[in-house]
Amino acid sequence: MTVNIDLTGKTALVTGSTQGIGAAIATGLARAGARVAINGRTAASVQEAAKTLRTSVPEADVVEVAADVASDEGTARALDLLPAVDILVNNLGIFGSRPALEISDEEWRRYFEVNVLAAVRLSRSYLPGMIERGWGRIQYIASDSAVVIPAEMIHYGVSKTALLGVSRGFAKAAAGTGVTVNAVIAGPTHTGGVEDFVYELVDKSLPWDEAQHEFMRLHRPQSLLQRLIEPEEIANLVTYLASPLASATTGAAVRVDGGYVDAIIP
């Protein structure tokens, strides 16, 4: 028996998809046949990411959505460019280390605006159309930090905790409609931004392989994978949850965390 994920005829928007996990998710959805909207703040970054996607998946149908969806104006622009979607992956997020007592109100607000409210606005905008059509998928890319709040960035962790609640709430709003809503708890993942973050916490003179090992040993010792997760590994789960195969999975916080969260159930 083979698993065949076919998203032909479906349109997907992946926010923050010009690099890292978002770009990997966009590629995974495109390979499954979806029409994929690449999103980023600038036209140049979106064009470059779209070019890369078309190279990786020559048959891909790619839409370019240059808009800062962390703002009301940017969200309105995204909705003008893409009035309806079948799959919404709320991937946009920011992170960075800061001692708890040094996080200002302004920074707390920024993290919630980008990591939480951007996803809320888009979900509120796209969910009614999905419900009317009787099919849809909404996902929120959360983090192990939602469950195991990191001491070095509690503002980030708490914003991801909020996403778990947002996901469960919208799943209830979509109950019985054919639309599923889930959160994906991603573990420590290897991206360019994470490489920078790792070097904030370990000796900058270390080669990358040694720096990664030291970071996992000192700051993520409970990982059962004992390495950073590759973005494509996150994308595999997201692509499955976006498919008809995952029709009975909704209201869930599904883990692809390398066993980082020390719990028997998700």
Provide the annotated active-site residues. Answer: 156
The whole-angstrom separation of Cα 98 and Cα 106 is: 13
The whole-angstrom separation of Cα 198 and Cα 202 is: 6
48: which residues sit within 8 A by CB, 6+ positions away? Answer: 18
Strand pairing category for 62-66 and 35-40: parallel
In this structure, what token pair is assigned to residue 124? Answer: 């509120």
Residue 213's H or E segment, with its range, is helix 208-219
Torsion angles phi and psi, residue 234, rounded to 5: -70, -45
Distances (CA, A) of 257 to 91, 95, 169, 264, 266: 16, 17, 23, 13, 10
H-state helical runs in 57-152 = 72-81, 105-112, 118-133
The C-alpha R_g of the chain, in whole angstroms, comes to 18
Residue 87: strand pairing partners:
12, 137
Residue 184: strand pairing partners:
141, 254
Please check whether residue 168 is in contact with residue 122, taking contact to mean a CB–CB distance below 8 angstroms. Answer: no
The whole-angstrom separation of Cα 232 and Cα 212 is: 18
